[in-house]
Amino acid sequence: MARIMCLQDMDIRRANMITEAQYRSIDKPTLVVWTSHDPTATPAEGAQIADMIPGAKYMVMNKCGHWPQYEDAPLFNKAHLAFLQGESLDGIPGVRA
């Protein structure tokens, strides 16, 4: 699974890549959700993305793989609803401001 991206044509992949400048230009509230057991990317990669987005919140959902919305729906929904309603994410497991 970790090497699945090698099956894509590089021109197709390049067209879908977001540059650091593009991440840094995001000026809307952003919640970056990552998981602890995703086979395609580590939590450190998620943190790096969140760090490039000004003011972004970062959340790691522990014991989840590639489908956190199914693997821990209650936590996923709680975090998203709080974020979308402009409420504090304090106390939600895995959230880093």
Residue bearing the bigger pLDDT, 2 or 68: 68
> pLDDT digit string (tens) for 19-74?
999 999 999 999 999 999 998 899 999 999 999 999 999 999 999 999 999 999 99
Instruction: State the CATH number of the domain containing residue 59.
Output: 3.40.50.1820
Number of domains in the chain: 1
Can you spell out the DSSP letters for the chain? -TTGGGGS-HHHHHHHPPPHHHHHT--S--EEEEETT-TT--HHHHHHHHHHSTT-EEEEETT--S-HHHHTHHHHHHHHHHHHTT---TTSTTEE-
Statement: residue 2 has pLDDT above 60: no
Range of the domain at 86: 4-96
